[in-house]
Structure 1
Amino acid sequence: MENPIFFDDWAGIGRIVITGLLAYPALILMLRISGKRTLSKFNAFDFIVTICLGSMLSSIIITKSVPLVEGVVALALLIVLQFAITWLSVRSPAFQSLIKSNPTLLVHRGVYQEKAMRTERVSKQEIAAALHANGNAETSERCCVVLETDGSLNVFTAA
């Protein structure tokens, strides 16, 4: 039996509407209870959790083989695990170093830090784009560029 391309049946549409109307508010409620940190973008770990939550929500809504209650339990489990890991990382520097990276200095006083750039896989063109976005045409001896833990490039200029 082939899967239709444009339309299967009204029951499938109804299921999507009902699960969406129930799963989405459940996720919002869980996120409000778990706090702001659950959807932060402090580092790659937090970003991955956010992507996973979105993927899980879409699976609950679209996939017929995932019952609503099981999907909501999976969302809750991911949020609880993220909460536990961030709670532990705040209380244990050793654990924090396992799951989080440190900022990396890529340009120091106008000098490109080639080794750090290679290690972090950042090109001069990407640094130039960050400089331009910050209103700098080029590096100067007053300029520093840092690769933050969330992957963003911050430009600092000394007065």
Structure 2
Amino acid sequence: MEDFLFDGWTGIAKILIAAPVIYILVVALTRVSGKRSASQMNNFDWIVTVAIGSLVASAVLSQGVAIAEAALAITALFALQYGFTLGARRWGKVERLLKARPKILLAHGEFDEAAMDAERVTRSEILAAIRESGNRRLDEVEYVILESDARFSVIARGERALDEAVLATIRRPEGAPRAPD
């Protein structure tokens, strides 16, 4: 029972060394990699973040993982994220591989049930997004879009027409109307 509460000074010493070293490394790598590593996350960013968290925990708490090994693994994940996101910026195929495309869930007051089913989004979630955007009526809304980072964008109907370029990367249902000119 004594080992359960205190397993010796070696483990305590490793934690006292590993925690600040790994913390400083993650802060430095986050700073170097830019705002993207701390921004709204798409699926790829979320996976990298979870993996880094697991490596941090292993480095600090596991006696079987050397600090240098964990530091190298964390650095490799940051480098992979940097490389893939740079590739996504430069090549559309990489972007399509890494990121889900935004999807229109509501257009011109009509819910797209197929898109909602595919994304597992309920009407109540869409209506909540509309309320959060400050719109009070469904007919005030031109589009509700599920973005690649799982946020909802609510585009209100207005005096100015929505530029087609703004909708260029969005997956639309068959026969969906284009933005008015």
Q: Normalised by the shorter chain, which TM-score bucket?
A: 0.7 to 0.9
Name structure 2 gaps, 5 residues minimum: 159-181
Letter in 2 for 1:16: I
State the match for 1:46 in structure 2: 45
Question: Deviation of residue 70 (structure 1)?
Answer: 0.5
Query: Do 1:110 and 1:140's aligned partners in 2 also have CA atoms closer than 8 Å?
Result: yes
Overall identity of the aligned pairs, in %:
35
Q: Under a length normalisation based on structure 1, what TM-score does the superposition of the two structures give?
A: 0.87
Query: Do 2:109 and 2:141's aligned partners in 1 also have CA atoms closer than 8 Å?
Result: yes
The structure-2 alpha-carbon separation of the partners of 1:158 and 1:66, relative to structure 1 and needing over 3 Å to count, comes to same
State the match for 2:145 in structure 1: 146
Question: Deviation of residue 39 (structure 1)?
Answer: 3.3
1:1-150 alignment, distance < 5 Å? 4=4, 6-140=5-139, 142-150=141-149
Question: Deviation of residue 3 (structure 1)?
Answer: 5.7
Letter in 2 for 1:124: R
Determine the C-alpha separation between the residues in 2 that align with 1:142 and 1:153.
13
Number of aligned positions between the proteins: 158
Query: Do 1:43 and 1:100's aligned partners in 2 also have CA atoms closer than 8 Å?
Result: yes
Determine the C-alpha separation between the residues in 2 that align with 1:24 and 1:76.
12
Letter in 1 for 2:155: F
Determine the C-alpha separation between the residues in 2 that align with 1:99 and 1:7.
45
Question: Deviation of residue 42 (structure 1)?
Answer: 4.6
Letter in 1 for 2:145: V
Letter in 2 for 1:154: S
